[in-house]
A = this chain, B = another copy of it.
């Protein structure tokens, strides 16, 4: 079977992280990309990055709306009026309300395929874009009853060209799902971070550079609150666009927390144990980083001197041992003349690489998976 290539020109409206990443992925596959954004600097930057050329109004096969959820209906109506593309999709993390808004505005719903790529980064804007941002990542597609088969085909080809994995799901089911796995956690992270505003310590502030509580902050707090750094304008629109499902999830979590607070006050520790246990089993349901089961690598820790060429020597030795390094993390403590490289390799390669590196004089220790249980002792030992 010969698959006809239908997608040769794409219009990307909104050249933030997601829009520009889509454009880069399409460019790498030879698709002609036109770029549009209310911010002309962003368009210029995206063009510099090789994401495409500024849109001059020429019609495209597919229009990708990479704008906040509350702008989708309006932008779609405008583009359809101008005959900008044969079909349209969007990337917003809310699906039901923007789709309903588009219908209310009188948009042609046969050419609109609501979509949502599940990918992102901590950085935003075109310079954060990555050609491989969507590779292996889920990409929800929520066509309605009116959506034409041809429009869905074009949206599917977009996903395929970007390397995403299509997940067909109803708009309402999608919104309930992301309320649970994304939107409610965002609100919770904001509430934990907001509590830090109250931190003052018991001593007057001028005696310390910062309240003692924040001096005692560790990586756990940083992780829990990381997503709370998200753009307020964008997240207000996301939460407003998915208000009831998010409210239900947030209220459910609040109830669990209120119960836990009461249990702590009256010493009912089995309630706490139950919550911690449910947390562990809920957490175990989250799939691995790329959607599939987590691949098991052996991890070698190698102590390195902090000097130019040290990593080169290390990886040369690995290359000579014909071992492919699957992942590497450098843990570096400022001020120390050593660093620890954590090197992930296929388990069958671990022994050979260890011997090769030890032969060259490195101190190597293997993280033993059998001894790596999921215990976190983030702040202090207990």
Cβ contact within 8 Å between A260 and B250: yes
Given the known interface contacts A228-B279, A257-B253, A278-B190, the answer about A128 and B223 at a Cβ–Cβ threshold of 8 Å is no
Q: Does A282 interact with chain B (Cβ within 8 Å)?
A: yes
CB distance B227 to A196 under 8 Å? no
Residue A358 lies at the interface, judged by CB distance under 8 Å to chain B: no
- The yes or no answer to A220 lying at the interface (CB within 8 A) is yes
Segment touching B, from A55-63, A75-83, A115-123: A115-123
Is residue A336 contacting chain B, with contact meaning CB distance below 8 A? yes
Q: Which residues of B contact A18 (CB under 8 A)?
A: 377, 380-381
Interface centre among A49, A94, A247, by most chain B C-beta atoms within 10 angstroms, is A247
Q: Does A8 contact B (CB under 8 A)?
A: no
A362 interface hit (Cβ, 8 Å): no
> In the bound complex, how far is the Cα of B93 from the Cα of A283, in angstroms?
23
Q: Are A375 and B234 in contact (CB under 8 A)?
A: yes
Q: Are B292 and A334 in contact (CB under 8 A)?
A: yes
A52 at the binding interface (Cβ < 8 Å): no
- A104 to chain B: closest CB distance in Å? 17
* Nearest 6 Cβ contacts at the A-B interface: A309-B319, A190-B279, A18-B381, A93-B380, A312-B315, A196-B282
Given contacts A92-B382, A169-B212, 6 further A-B contacts (CB under 8 A): A117-B381, A124-B373, A136-B333, A177-B216, A236-B273, A309-B318
